[in-house]
Amino acid sequence: VDFYKVMEGKNQTAPGLHFVGKKDDLIQAKRSFRTLDGRDVLIIHHEGVFHAIDSYCHHAGGLLQNGDIEEINGKMCIICPKHKYKITLAEGECLYKGKDPRENPSVTRWFSKGVKQRIHVVTESDGNVFVKLSVSPGWIESDYYQGEKGKVERAKA
């Protein structure tokens, strides 16, 4: 018995594994918004790859759904439409351009602020797509805009 087929249509599959849609539909949509276990997640299909990322920007709750996607420093990034922060789709790292004052001469290049946006795991089986929410321990800044306080702030912005 194909486990995924049995569970398809029930939305919830194995514990923690969420059916989010048919592969073809998600590819056509390019970006799909889903609420999984109360968490708002953006599923992106870009250049043949699926990504799942917290849908509100860690900086000030901007809607990543409307952000452009660009390759920066060899990494695919979504650019928050609000203040143009650049977030890698694979790791959730926030990239910025700067100079290291310890270098002489110092040149402008890309640096990482570290992981700021929670990234979730996407899997496919038999034309169906599933997301497993990240269980990375500890606080990741985008968690704030998934909580009650963050929701209130988003609504005001």
Q: Cα dist. 146→22, 45, 102 in Å?
A: 25, 22, 38
Among 5, 30, 46, 83, binds ligand FES (CB under 6 A): 83
Is residue 144 a contact point for ligand FES (CB under 6 A)? Answer: no
Among 77, 80, 89, 129, binds ligand FES (CB under 6 A): 80
Q: Kindly indicate which of the ranges 9-17, 53-61, 97-105, 107-115 contains the residues binding ligand FES, using the contact rule CB under 6 A.
A: 53-61
Q: Kindly indicate which of the ranges 9-17, 44-52, 59-67, 120-128 contains the residues binding ligand FES, using the contact rule CB under 6 A.
A: 59-67
Q: Is residue 88 a contact partner of residue 77, using CB atoms and an 8 Å limit? A: yes
Among 23, 39, 75, 82, binds ligand FES (CB under 6 A): 82
Is residue 27 a contact point for ligand FES (CB under 6 A)? Answer: no
Q: Kindly indicate which of the ranges 3-11, 27-35, 81-89, 99-107 contains the residues binding ligand FES, using the contact rule CB under 6 A.
A: 81-89
Residue 64: CB partners within 8 Å, gap ≥ 6?
Answer: 42, 53, 54, 55, 56, 57, 78, 80, 87
Rounded distance, CA 112 to CA 106, Å? 17
| Residue 90 tokens, joined | 């694979």
Q: Cα dist. 149→61, 110, 116, 142 in Å?
A: 11, 32, 18, 12
**Contact positions toward ligand FES, by CB under 6 A?**
57, 59-62, 80, 82-83, 85
